Amino acid sequence: MRPVAVVGIGKTAFGAFADQTLRSLAVASAQKALADARMEPSQIEAFYLGNFAGPSFVGQSHLAPFVAGGIGLAGVPCTRVEAACASGGSAFFHGVSAVGAGLYDAVLVTGVEKMTSAETPRVAEILAMAGDCGTEGKAGATFPALFALIARRHMYQYGTKREHLAAVAVKNHANGAMNPDAHMKKVITLEQAMAGKPIADPLTIYDCSLVSDGAASVILCPLEKAHLYTDKPVQVLGIAQTSDWVALDRKADITCFPAVISAGRKAYAMAGIGPERIDVAEVHDCFTIAEVVAIEDLGFVPKGQGGPFSGDGQTALGGRIPVNTSGGLKAKGHPVGATGVAQICDLVLQIRGGAGERQVRGASVGLAQNLGGSGASCVVTILGAGA
């Protein structure tokens, strides 16, 4: 594969935007990314759209050309990618694959979700469709419930405590409060996080990510052409997408995600580095327990140590490995299809040194982990400062 670079990034704010549509959000983020890369829409040769459930949320199918029309891309191949909450990461993976294979020299990848136009119980039903509807769904499982099942077992096997999960929420809220584009800019205390409204034991409302509207876009080109568009190219050093069973009860051990472990190993091997070289990470904290499991599966800590490591502040800014400096899905927000692309935008910002108050000093290598469902899809990407 020829080396691929990210040369443009653009995000909308994440939040609840009654006056915006799925298309207007996607178009706004794409225009920002094009401007960032000093490109015209006519230069884009292919378009990949990450979107989980636009047809259910907003009643529109055939979304890739529908969005592309608004950006001014008519004529190029337009592909929608769906992999539940990893839709954005998967769209990015396919964009990188296409550029890496030499098919195109300029690709736009956008992720978008417009969730807040639906009522909360309907949102929960649509999200639950990312699980196994015939078994988990019929039994009354919600998405928080699936991660609650994981949390309970993790606590049982490794002694992970409620306080450890709450510490993840507190840290991500603190980071989100420094992110002007975050959905929730509200600092919370450990006591608040522990005493939240129960959703599915042991998870409370503060363990759950947000239901958000938002979009994120990136522009990819071969590394050798990156200088045409930016002074600060960021190279895709490693990337992998993997899969696993959709239903939790088919997995031998639910305290880890085999898809994350294998995607991580493949991405590290491709980049030729190990977890100790990662300066900053954006991981998929759809629930606090998911961040704890992710830092274990990605090799930042030994199995079972994710809880105490988080509780000790080692994943906070200034800690051993800052995780989710953007605020993560928990505070930045989780417009499902946008999330995986937004993670890339946030890492690029860190590697360019433009993250402001949230900047990790000297960050030159970053890792993004985007998870679909309760672990059935995963994309891990390692980015580094381009030559």
CB of 136 to another protein, least distance (A): 5
Structure tokens at 299: 């090799």
Two structure tokens written together for 162: 């409620």
85 among known catalytic residues = yes
Q: What span, in angstroms and rounded, lies between the C-alpha atoms of 62 and 88?
A: 17
Pairwise CA distance, residues 23 & 17, whole Å: 13
C-beta of 27 vs 150, nearer to another protein: 150
Q: For residue 330, how many C-alpha atoms fall within 13 Å in the half-sphere facing its CB? A: 37
Neighbouring residues of 308: CB distance < 8 A, sequence distance ≥ 6: 164
State how far the Cα of 81 lies from the Cα of 190, in Å rounded to an integer: 38
For another protein, the closer of residues 70 and 196 by Cβ is 196
CA distance 303 to 116: 36
Shortest distance (Å) from residue 28 CB to another protein: 32
From the candidates 183, 286, 334, 378, which is the catalytic residue?
334
* In the complex, least distance from residue 309 CB atom to another protein, rounded to whole angstroms: 22
Residue whose CB is less far from another protein, 76 or 133:
133
- Interacting residues with another protein (CB under 8 A): 121-122, 124-125, 128, 135-136, 138-142, 144-145, 148-153, 156, 197-203, 247-250, 254
Nearer to another protein, 134 or 356 (CB): 134
Alpha-carbon gap, residue 256 to 290, rounded angstroms: 9
The verdict on whether 345 is a catalytic residue reads no
Closest approach, Cβ 102 to another protein, in A, equals 45
Q: How far is CA 83 from CA 50, 91, 139, in A?
A: 8, 9, 23
The residues annotated with a catalytic role in the active site are: 85, 334
